[in-house]
Amino acid sequence: MAVTFEVLYLGTAPEIDTAEGNVLSENDGALVGMTFGSTDAPLAYNAQHTLSPVGYSGGTSNMYDIDNTISNDTFSIDGGPAQTFDGLAVYNATITYADGTPSATITAVVIQDADGNLYLVPETSANADHAAMTAAPIASITLDSIYTISSGRLVADRQSTDFVCYALGTDILTDRGNVPVECLRPGNHVMTLDRGAQPIRWIHSGMHLLDAEDTDAKPVLIGAGALGPGRPARDLIVSPQHRVLVGSNLQLQDFFGAEALAPAKFLTRLPGIRHMKSKRDITWVHFACDRHELVYANGCLSESLLLGPMVLNGMTHHDRRAAAEIFGQAPTPDAALNGPPARDFLRKREVQAMLRPRNRCRKVTRPHDDVSSAGLASHY
């Protein structure tokens, strides 16, 4: 089976494989001490992308190696142009989290193409490092030292998905009524809470495999009426990190005293909101407007894509160039091209505090359903 990975783009760095003819990355020490991401520009904002094979040296169909003496192993990012697999190194690394969760140490697998582009390759769900990478939104990762046991070959399937996306079939309210998200195109006008009809400037879609064991990475289903009366009007499927409006517009106003944006995965303790544990793959669509907006998806308010530094770093070269041409340069290195955020972002502990049992004063029911909120939770 072809080896496909979900990877996180980290940026460019000095070449780590400086001599061909072996499977060693002789200059892997050049990355020691480097930090990728920050509290102001967390890696959690960065959409991961699919690395898929283009060609293997010798016809081998289940590995990439860094020895380019005879021929090159090549891959593409999201179906883009071929890139040459050139370097691989394994580091002892420290992860810091955006929500204040205590930092964690992992073994980080980092690969590099011949142009110096670096990608972090998440571990499989059976690995403890994968659990650390999905424990909470990641702010940054620091490569502390070289891990002594490394290989110049990458041989295992690894998937880890944490996108801010809508699933196929999601109705987005536009100036011409509800339109399925997969039918939207740049130039179409979506209706926003703050600025009325706004044009879509950039849109992307792709199919992603889902790790069978990684519940936290599974899509989140927000059942009809789970956020409030008619919010959403019908079941809404979003990526775990996708943020929805809370605290106003009839969306969880009984729980949150002020309006803010909360990731869907932090709301799964509520009746009618759950991870879709049986999902094995899904096609996501995400789109960006001139500014970060609150848009209507299946009748409830949630976010469009915020093009922060880490999201841009996670794009292919082609998409980054296209985004820069569309939006221009960010005013500062840590700013989003279409920022600032439409509302404050809530951390996990803030959401959990508001959802404690003492705050649960609202019974969630669906129209014409004569069932308790507990019954709804089991139904979904």
> Which pLDDT tens digit goes with each residue over 85-96?
888 999 999 998
Which tokens is 57 given?
Answer: 């040296």
- The mean per-residue pLDDT over the stretch 69-89 comes to 82
Model pLDDT, residue 38: 81
More confident: 336 or 150? 336
359: phi then psi, degrees, rounded to nearest 5: -90, -5
Residue 378: the pLDDT is 22
Which of 338, 246, 253, 364 has its CA nearest to residue 300? 246
pTM: 0.56
Q: How far is CA 1 from the centre of its chain?
A: 25
Residue with tokens 């009839």: 250
Distance CA 269, CA 275 (A): 10
Check pLDDT > 70 for residue 56: no
Q: What 3 state SS string does the chain have?
A: CCCCEEEEEEEECCCCCCCCCCCCCCCHHHHCCCEEECCCCCHHHCCCEEEEEEECHHHCCCCEECCCCCCCCEEEECCCCCEEEEEEEEEEEEEEECCCCCCEEEEEEEEEECCCEEEECCCCCCCHHHHHHCCCCEEEEEEEEECCCCCCEECCCECCCCCCCEECCCEEEEECEEEEHHHCCCCCEEEECCCEEEEEEEEEEEEEECCCCCHHHCCEEECCCCCECCECCCCEEECCCCEEEECECCECCCCCCCCEEEEHHHHCCCCCEEECCCCCEEEEEEEEECCCCEEEECCEEEECCCCCHHHHHCCCHHHHHHHHHHHCCCCCCCCCCCCCCCCCECCHHHHHHHCCHHHCCCCCCCCCCCCCHHHHHHHC
pLDDT recorded at residue 62: 53
pLDDT at residue number 256: 94
- The residue with greater pLDDT, 203 or 156, is 203
